Structures are given as structure tokens and as C-alpha cells.
Amino acid sequence: MAEATQDSIQSKRQAIIEAALDIFAKQGYEETTIAQIAAAAGVAVGTVYLYFHNKREIYTQASIDWTNRLATALQDPRILSLPIRQVPRAMIETVFRLCHQDSNMMSIFQVDIQSPEELQQHKDADGAITGAVDAFLRLTIENGQLAPFDTLMYAKVLFGMVHSALFECFCAQQGRDEEAIRETTIEIVERIFFGPPLASAQNATSVVAE
């Protein structure tokens, strides 16, 4: 009975978050009301307040939920089992694909963080992504595929760079140059780990020879 009740609680809470994500994306944070979220989730307004203190808290949890989806996608065994040189492209393409599918949601994450508690919650959520990348990098070192380095710092730098690329692509440009931004991001990450492409190295050799 207790387990069933817990499942029901989690189901209602998730329904509220999913409804909020959809409405925030369609009409923006400021124009969204608790009543609208409750109606879309199929619950009473009072039920929403059983799980969240206010709209701001729903927004924060919706944002964190979205970030956790990205972290889960990056831990897909189908990606992690690829040859190491294919993994950066697979990870970045996965993130861009998810953001493309839900591009209308990207703008809702531009709401300013308003408290130290919110800041910590967002840091924890971002840490799920950097943790997934860090775990993969440590595994490559253990397997002798890469020389030892500060994997956590690299994961944080990579997260910051990809996050900026996603913001530029889906928020600043509304996806207009998605392919170019995605491919440039992949190229930069691949260069960080593997150096210039072989073709570039061959061209450089030819220029020196001439």
C-alpha cells in the first residue's frame, strides 16, 4: 500500500512538471499560472501546492528535470560502447537532437536564478551532466585509451562550451544555424582530445614541403 501511494505521489508530481514544461514553453514563464498548470496536469490547484510552494519552485524543478534528461541520455550504453573517437560526436549529436526536438522549451531556461538555494539546485543538476562525462573520461584512462589528465575539470570545461553552443543555437538564433554550430562544436571537442584531423595535418605538411 505504501509503495503504491509513493508511486501515485511521484506520478502526480511528474505530471505537474511535464505540464509546466509544456505551458512555460508555449507562453513563457511570466504568463503561466498555477491554475493553468493544474488543469493541464489533470489535478486540482490545491494538489499542486501539496508538491510545490509556488510557480518559481515548479520552474526550478522543471529545469532540473530537463537537465537530468540530458545527463541520462549521455549515459546511454550505445554511446559509451562506441570506439573512443566516435564518442564526442555521438554525445554532442545526442544533446543537440534532444534540444532540437524540444526547441520550444529552451527559452524557458533563461529565467534568472533568484536565490542561493536555486543556484545550488542548478549546480547539482549540471553536476549530473559533468559527472556523466567525467565517468566516461576516467574509464578511457583506465582502459589505456587516453593519457591521465584532470577529467573533472575537462568535463566542466566541455559542459560550459557545449552549454554556450546550445544557448547560441536554440535561444539566440532559434535554431537557424543548428548544423553549423553543432559541427563546429564537435570539431573543437575532437581537436581537444585527438588533435587536428589527418587531412589538416597532411595539408600542413604539403605547405611546408612547398
Amino acid at 4: A
Does pLDDT of 97 surpass 50? yes
Could you name the CATH architecture of 1-52?
Orthogonal Bundle (1.10)
Q: Is the pTM of this model over 0.75?
A: yes
Domain range summary for the chain, segments of one domain joined by +: 1-52, 63-209
Q: List pLDDT tens digits, range 1-29.
A: 555 566 677 889 999 998 998 898 888 88
Query: Rounded to the nearest 10 degrees, how much is the dihedral formed by the CA atoms of 95, 136, 145, 89?
Result: 0
Homologous superfamily of the 63-209 domain (CATH): Tetracycline Repressor, domain 2 (1.10.357.10)
When pLDDT is cut at 50, 70 and 90, the band that residue 62 belongs to is confident
d(CA 141, CA 114): 39
Long-range contacts of the stretch 106-115 (C-beta < 8 A, 24+):
106/166, 106/167, 106/170, 106/171, 107/25, 107/28, 107/171, 108/21, 108/24, 108/25, 108/28, 108/29, 108/59, 108/62, 108/63, 109/63, 109/66, 110/171, 111/29, 111/59, 114/56
When pLDDT is cut at 50, 70 and 90, the band that residue 206 belongs to is very low
pLDDT of residue 65: 84
